[in-house]
Amino acid sequence: MKKYFTSESVTSGHPDKVCDRISDSVLDALLAIDPNSRVACECSVTTNFLLVMGEITSKAKIDIDAIARKAIRDIGYTDDVLGFNADTVQIVQKINKQSADIALGVDNSTESDSGDIFDKTGAGDQGIMFGYACNETAELMPMPIQLAHKMCKKLEDVRKNGTLKYLRPDGKGQVTVEYDDNNNPLRIEAVVLSTQHDESISTEQLRLDVKKYVIDEVLPVEYLDENTKYFINPTGRFEIGGPNGDSGLTGRKIIVDTYGGMCAHGGGAFSGKDPTKVDRSATYMARYICKNIVASGLADRCEIQVSYAIGVARPLSVMVDTFGTGKLSDGQIADIILKEFDLRPEAIINKLQLRNPVFTPTSSYGHFGNSTFSWEKIDKVDDLRKYF
């Protein structure tokens, strides 16, 4: 039987991604002034309305309305005809301070009397986090999600640089890849790309332009053939979009944010959360570990699960699955991880430099696979190779 896998991405103008962008912009503004800010900022949008809510404890004083309007403007919502406009959108704020109960566990972990500074900070919540890497692409990401991201990012680029001036900010795409029995990519089976546009363009011309200037520019020709199927704006018109077409919410695109469904997911969202929230920081660390394991040659594919209890610094468990591709057993690799990587929250924050305002760029086109992020470095390869 043929084996297929499909992953989806969306543009920064998708309503959920608008919310992610605003949440991370608020987080970065706070961290730029007070690196110890505790932030859980979420947003919801609908037609020309934005609700900013959550819990923030920080020494920083920022103008949330101005930050939100800038984020919306940068995405491209600057005209009332879009039903969502940076200059006229109504903004309501509902911000509280972080729960004192949560702060107690984060500030004084159960191991805080050990004398080790990294034992002082407990996990900001209980939960399970997953990381993943594979050798399908240069970025050590699954091919379907990586190509879907590149396609949607190109769609945004040709809108912003004026190549296709009739495009509007909302859009989404997906790529289906056929695999062989050894889980190696063989070819691209199908491509779907839907983009918002103004009323001036015909569906026929849009399909020709998007194929030429977006799809053909980013999809590797060696994986395309005469049987590859293309679906460009399959319903025809897509004029109404963004928050005017659908409501949006921070953290609702967690599969787009990670591995496109190729890896398990613990359920926690990322955007708007400061790094004491292990939903975010431990998931980044898990990716960093998996990427270094694959880059070192210890495995061709690697998934790890890490679990935490609120107020406890050290993880409760670490599980490894190399899907039969490991040079050592999964148990041996798990032991290596515990020797080579410090999974306590404060150690993760320190290693990946997560108290810096680095999060806004993660809000679109994936939190993984971008070489500019600290958790994408492969600087532990030599340390891991010594084990085999």
Please give the model's pTM, rounded to 2 decimal places: 0.95
Spell out the per-residue pLDDT of the chain, length 388, in tens. 789 999 999 999 999 999 999 999 999 999 999 999 999 999 999 999 999 999 999 999 999 999 999 999 999 999 999 999 999 999 999 999 987 766 666 766 667 766 777 877 888 888 999 999 999 999 999 999 999 999 999 999 999 999 999 999 999 999 999 999 999 999 999 999 999 999 999 999 999 999 999 999 999 999 999 999 999 999 999 999 999 999 999 999 999 999 999 999 999 999 999 999 999 999 999 999 999 999 999 999 999 999 999 989 999 999 999 999 999 999 999 999 999 999 999 999 999 999 999 999 999 999 999 999 999 999 999 999 999 8
Q: How far apart are CA 283 and CA 345, in angstroms?
A: 11
340: which strand partners? Answer: none
Q: Kindly give, in sequence order, each residue whose CB lies less than 8 Å from that of residue 51, ignoring residues fewer than 6 positions away.
A: 43, 44, 45, 91, 92, 93, 94
**Residue 186 vs residues 6, 140, 183, 210, 300: alpha-carbon distances, Å:** 14, 17, 9, 24, 17
CA 286 – CA 259 distance, rounded (Å): 13
Dihedral angle of Cα 10, 16, 19, 23, to the nearest 10 degrees: -80
Phi-psi region of 4 (alpha: psi -120 to 50; beta: other; left: phi over 0): beta
SS3 20: helix
d(CA 335, CA 33) in angstroms, rounded, equals: 39
User: Tokens standing for 49?
Assistant: 């309305």
DSSP one-letter code for 211: I
Answer whether 60's CB lies under 8 Å from 34's CB. yes
